[in-house]
Structure formats: structure tokens, C-alpha cells
Amino acid sequence: MTTTRPVIELDRVTKSYPGGVQALRDASLRIWPDELTAIVGPSGSGKSTMLQLMGTLDRPTHGTVRILGHDVATLDDRQLSAVRAAWIGFVFQQFHLTAHLTAVQNVANGLFYHGIPRRTRLRRAAEALDRVGLGHRLSHRPHELSGGERQRVAIARALVARPAIVLADEPTGALDSRSGETVIALLHELHAEGTTITVITHDQGISRSFDRQVEILDGAIRGDSAAESAT
């Protein structure tokens, strides 16, 4: 480990909703630089809530969330938006691409709030698409791409700002098995190049292919292969 500071840290985090529902209970977790982590659990286990908190898209009811050492409770909404833009790349199951924009324009939008000139945004977007194997599809719109290609565009958009971590929520959930395997292989390749990646999944097969597996059930962390290997 080149640094003692985790990229993301949850310290005894609980997330409650009206009606007494606890989606996450007393969860503590550290994600370190260069890790490839799967957070695995069935539907309703709390793993998507955990991703929302890790990505600063929501705030905990109790406990502390830190991003690169910064307590998110001390940051206002504008500062949190800046944290997300600079340090966190998101990949979602449903791609969230803009239909009328080309692949390169969709990826370039990931740099819109960075104050980067348009020409530079497009150049960096083209480089990111080439990195995920889509350098030949820059001018194609989402409806002209397969599901696997659209997810690779979404991954390129997550990477284009060179974030500290990429968070992926069920990135193969909307794909056929072959396309899903291609996306997981790509995540492995990106990790080998130095990207810190955390994937939320219900698929035990996917999780077993990752270096670290964190199991969550009924809102609580039930197992962590990193902790087990340290004992």
C-alpha cells in the first residue's frame, strides 16, 4: 500500500428511512487505492444504499463517511458536487446516456463542470473511448450501439476525469451474458492499469473474480475477504 489513507471510508454508518426501516446498519468499510472490490448481496440487502453513501449521493443517518480523508458531513452541496466531479466516477446499470449525443459527446459531458475547453474535452473523451476499445465508434449515438458498447461508453465517461475511484452499480445487470463478461473483463483490465474500482453486484460469480469481496445482508456487513485474509 503506497498510502495509509483510504479512498473511501465508512465508519459505523447507519442509514434509516421513515417507518423505522434501516437500509444500512453500523457498517464500517475502507476502500484502499488500487483495490478491485465487489460488494455483493441479494436484492434489498443494502448494497445500493451503501453505494449512494460512498458516492456522496446521500448522507448517513448516523456515522461518518470520508472521501480521501474529508468528512462529507462538513461539506455543503456545492462542495459535494465538486467532490463527485473530481474524485468519483459512476457507472450505472441503465447507462444514462443522452440519446441525441454521440459517444464522444456523452463522454465529454463528464468533463463539463471541470472548466476544460470543449476541444480538450472532446480529445480526452476520444482517448477514454479508445481505452475501452471504442475508438472506432466515436460518432455513433446510443441507439447505434449494442448494450455492451453503451456500457463501455458509460465506463469511459466515468474514467474521463481520472477519478480516485470508479463506483459501478450492477454494471452487467442490463446486459446479456456475453456482453456482461466483456464489461467485467474490461474492469479487470482497467484495474490492472491502476484504476480503483468498487462494483455493487448480486452475482457471486462476478464477485469471486475480484480481489476483494465484501458481503452484505439485511443492511449489515457479514463478511470481508480482506479482513479474513489479514487474520
- Domain encompassing residue 92: 34-60+77-211
Q: Compute how many other C-beta atoms are within 10 angstroms of the C-beta atom of residue 20.
A: 6
Burial of 10 (0-12, 13-18, 19+ CB in 10 A): buried
All cell numbers assigned to 183: 464489461
pLDDT band (50, 70, 90) for residue 228: low
- Residue 229's pLDDT is 58
CA distance 40 to 17: 22
- Residue 230's pLDDT is 56
Asked if residue 56 belongs to a domain, the reply is: yes
Closest to 77 in 3D by CA, of 63, 90, 58: 58
Asked if residue 221 belongs to a domain, the reply is: no
Taking residues 165-184, report their average pLDDT: 94
Is the pLDDT confidence value at 162 over 60? yes
Average per-residue pLDDT for the chain: 93
Which position has the higher pLDDT, 135 or 4? 135
Cell 473530481 identifies what position? Answer: 86
Asked if residue 9 belongs to a domain, the reply is: no
Q: Which residues of 158-191 are buried (b: 16+ CB within 10 A; e: fewer)?
A: bbbbebbbbbbbbbbebbeeebbbbbbebbeebb
Which range (18-22, 30-34, 124-128, 148-152) has the least confidence? 18-22
Is the pLDDT confidence value at 168 over 50? yes
How many separate domains does the chain show?
Answer: 1
Asked if residue 152 belongs to a domain, the reply is: yes
